[in-house]
């Protein structure tokens, strides 16, 4: 799984960090998403998919090739 | 007469405190772009489908400029409370300016900061629950816990004394209640609130603290990349109001929904790891979410195949959208494990709720502490006796009588 985030779209809602804190963080100075693990372990995949699905700004993109 | 030709009154009357009105399903199915009459008598267009509501909320052509001369007035008075007040216009509506404001303020509401506040919130919740228990059952969970907790938390973040909370409570009620107060009352309350906040900011300028408002002041004016004085003032007022009624009412509704069918409560007692998804599901399931979000259309646009002329006022019913079968399997059922749960309770797109990490954390902490301290909690009245607060932009219950 490969993750990309769009900082310009991100509205700093923090849903991704609440759901997958090992993969996503937010910058301290403006709350914008920071990608900690662009290619997370298998164990994180379910949480990452959930985060991408609920991001209110549709700022998280996943490409799921094996 | 077909549903199309009928002009529905909005808000749709509904006596059941926790159940959706029957019209929602019909509207989503047959009349996704519906004509409605507002309490002011003005016409608006109601959207109830998930895809439409989600799209419109994130579309910048649908503005929040409800003070435009041809925008529908929401309430019978000239002035439609919060939505069309001058206050609303001071926080930038869109584009880069809005993003700039959002980022300056948003850094205070990150998930990490909210997680760091958890122990503090849990302590407040424990103390409030202890006090309620001391006063004896039945208690009103809304007045004892739901209201005070978010107020303590937001007052602390803004550095304003929680002792003034009765005044904030009145001011925010006058701003959020669309029908209960006269224009004179609303104007007087807004003026007092404005004066209170300017005095508070003047004090912070003299003696800065470590709170959000002090730091917004310290960031300098627009020329230094900060906010203007009036913007800081309105931001403080907006956060106090936003941090007040919304989560407060949601705590009462969340607990009521979970106790309305006590097997839900028992499931959470057996497996507290479901707290997070359970909170999201109560947000989705909340059929008493309030007015919805009004938007004013700057240019002609199409929604669900219907052309909306420029100047249309659209009302997005997130609560109706959250029950849309095409977006949620078994939408009419409360599923405490639902995941993902992309509900629209906090809106969508660049304006989606700035305080959502705070609200979520508060709701999760309250539920966690209640399950731990009062596992025997139950409603003290039949669900049918719960009563809605009328006229509020944010829906709520008058009281939430509980025993334990
Ligand atoms: C359960 C509780 C809450 C609910 C259901 C809720 C709901 C919403 C919704 C639907 C919006 C979108 C408005 C729009 O698109 O025009 C919004 C915006 C906003 N909310 Fe909340 N909210 C809650 C709690 C809070 C809290 C605790 C705060 C912070 C103190 C807060 C601060 C804000 C702010 C500042 C905005 C405006 C954001 C912007 O325009 O960019 N909210 N809220
Ligand atoms: S959930 Fe989306 S909008 Fe919110 S912080 Fe993460 S990427 Fe940004």
Nearest CA to ligand 1 atom 43: B353
Residues B140-193 have pLDDT tens digits of: 999 999 999 999 999 999 999 888 888 888 888 887 777 778 888 888 888 899
> Least CA distance to A29: which residue of chain B?
B107
Q: Residue B122: exposed, middle, or buried by beta-carbon count in 10 A (0-12, 13-18, 19+)?
A: middle
Confidence of residue B93 (pLDDT cuts 50, 70, 90): confident
Q: Which of B56, B41, B71, B82 is nearest to B296 (CA)?
A: B71
- Mean pLDDT over B104-114 rounds to 93
Mean confidence (pLDDT) of chain B: 91
- Residue in B112, B276, B352 closest to A13 by CB: B352
Put simply, the answer to whether A11 touches B342 (Cβ < 8 Å) is no
The residue of B101, B109, B111 whose CB has the most chain A CBs within 10 angstroms, and thus the best one to mutate to test that interface, is: B111
Structure-model confidence comparison of residues B79 and B269, the more confident one: B269
The pTM assigned to this predicted structure is 0.94
Put simply, the answer to whether A12 touches B354 (Cβ < 8 Å) is yes
Residues B206-220 have pLDDT tens digits of: 999 999 999 999 999
Confidence of residue B13 (pLDDT cuts 50, 70, 90): confident
Tell me, what's the pLDDT at B4? 47
**Is any atom of ligand 1 closer than 6 Å to the C-beta of B247?**
yes
> Least CA distance to A20: which residue of chain B?
B111
pLDDT of B361 over the 50 cut: yes
Phi, psi of A41 (to 5 degrees): -60, 155
* CATH number of the structural domain spanning residue A28: 3.30.70.20
pLDDT of B5 over the 70 cut: no
Of the listed ranges B93-102, B126-135, B285-294, B370-379, the one predicted with least confidence: B93-102
Q: Is the ipTM of this complex over 0.90?
A: yes
What gap in Å lies between CA B222 and CA B177, rounded to an integer?
A: 33
Residues B314-337 have pLDDT tens digits of: 999 999 999 999 999 999 999 999
- Residue in B107, B339, B348 closest to A30 by CB: B107
The residue of B56, B58, B114, B340 whose CB has the most chain A CBs within 10 angstroms, and thus the best one to mutate to test that interface, is: B340
- Mean pLDDT over B280-296 rounds to 95
What gap in Å lies between CA B211 and CA A59, rounded to an integer?
A: 30
Using the mean position of ligand 2's atoms as its centre, give its distance from the Cα of residue B343 in Å.
Answer: 15
Tell me, what's the pLDDT at B249? 94
**Is any atom of ligand 2 closer than 6 Å to the C-beta of A3?**
no
Residue B346 touches partner A, C-beta closer than 8 Å: yes
- Mean pLDDT over B61-90 rounds to 70
Judge contact between B244 and B151, C-beta under 8 A.
Answer: yes
pLDDT of B339 over the 60 cut: yes
Q: What angle do CA B273, B262, B372 make, to 5 degrees?
A: 45
How many interface pairs between A and B have CB atoms less than 8 angstroms apart? 81
Confidence of residue B402 (pLDDT cuts 50, 70, 90): very high
Phi, psi of B271 (to 5 degrees): -145, 80
Number of domains in chain A: 1
pLDDT of B233 over the 90 cut: yes
Q: Residue B14: exposed, middle, or buried by beta-carbon count in 10 A (0-12, 13-18, 19+)?
A: middle
pLDDT of B370 over the 50 cut: yes
* Cis omega (within 30 of 0) for bond into B118: no
What gap in Å lies between CA B300 and CA B55, rounded to an integer?
A: 15
Q: Which residues contact B35 (CB under 8 A, 6 or more apart)?
A: B7, B8, B43, B44, B45, B46
pLDDT of B84 over the 60 cut: no
Tell me, what's the pLDDT at B3? 47
- Dihedral, B32, B351, A59, B109 alpha carbons, nearest 10: -140
Tell me, what's the pLDDT at B87? 64
pLDDT of A32 over the 70 cut: yes
pLDDT of B82 over the 80 cut: no
Kindly give the number of the ligand 2 atom that is closest to the alpha carbon of A51: 1
pLDDT of B139 over the 50 cut: yes
Identify the domain containing residue A30 by its residue range.
2-63
Domains within chain B, CATH numbers bracketed: 3-403 (1.10.630.10)
């Amino acid at each position: 799984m490969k993750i990309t985030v769009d900082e310009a779209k991100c509205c700093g809602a923090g849903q991704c960090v609440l759901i997958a804190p090992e993969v996503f963080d937010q910058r301290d100075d403006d709350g914008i998403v920071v990608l900690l693990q662009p290619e997370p372990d298998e164990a994180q995949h379910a949480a990452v998919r959930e985060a991408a699905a609920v991001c209110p700004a549709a700022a998280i993109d996943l490409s799921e090739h094996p | 007469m077909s549903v199309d030709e009928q002009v529905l009154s909005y808000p749709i009357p509904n006596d059941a405190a926790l159940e959706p009105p029957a019209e929602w399903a019909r509207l989503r199915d047959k009349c996704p772009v519906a004509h409605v009459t507002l309490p002011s008598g003005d016409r608006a267009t109601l959207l109830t489908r998930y895809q439409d509501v989600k799209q419109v909320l994130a579309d910048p052509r649908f503005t929040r400029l409800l003070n435009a001369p041809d925008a529908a007035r929401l309430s019978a008075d000239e002035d439609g409370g919060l939505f069309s007040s001058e206050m609303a216009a001071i926080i930038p509506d869109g584009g880069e300016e809005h993003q700039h404001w959002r980022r300056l303020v948003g850094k205070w509401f990150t998930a990490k900061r909210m997680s760091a506040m958890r122990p503090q919130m849990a302590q407040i919740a424990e103390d409030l629950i202890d006090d309620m228990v001391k006063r004896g059952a039945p208690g009103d969970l809304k007045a004892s816990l739901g209201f005070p907790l978010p107020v303590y938390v937001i007052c602390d973040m803004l550095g304003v004394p929680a002792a003034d909370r009765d005044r904030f409570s009145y001011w925010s009620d006058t701003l959020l209640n669309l029908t209960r107060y006269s224009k004179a009352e609303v104007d007087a309350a807004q003026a007092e609130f404005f004066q209170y906040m300017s005095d508070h900011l003047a004090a912070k300028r003299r003696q800065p603290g470590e709170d959000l408002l002090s730091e917004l002041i310290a960031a300098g004016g627009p020329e230094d990349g900060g906010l203007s004085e009036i913007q800081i003032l309105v931001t403080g007022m907006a956060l106090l109001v936003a941090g007040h009624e919304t989560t407060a009412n949601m705590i009462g509704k969340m607990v009521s929904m979970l106790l309305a069918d006590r097997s839900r409560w028992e499931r959470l007692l057996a497996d507290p790891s479901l707290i997070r998804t359970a909170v999201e599901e109560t947000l989705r399931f909340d059929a008493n979410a309030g007015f919805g979000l009004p938007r004013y259309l700057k240019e002609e646009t199409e929604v669900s195949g219907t052309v909306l002329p420029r100047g249309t006022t659209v009302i997005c019913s997130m609560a109706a959208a959250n029950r849309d079968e095409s977006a949620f399997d078994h939408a009419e059922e409360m599923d405490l494990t639902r995941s993902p749960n992309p509900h629209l309770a906090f809106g969508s797109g660049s304006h989606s709720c700035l305080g959502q990490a705070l609200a979520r954390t508060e709701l999760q902490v309250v539920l966690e502490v209640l399950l731990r301290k009062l596992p025997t909690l139950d409603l003290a009245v039949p669900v049918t006796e719960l009563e809605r607060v009328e006229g509020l932009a944010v829906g709520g219950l008058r009281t939430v009588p509980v025993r334990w």
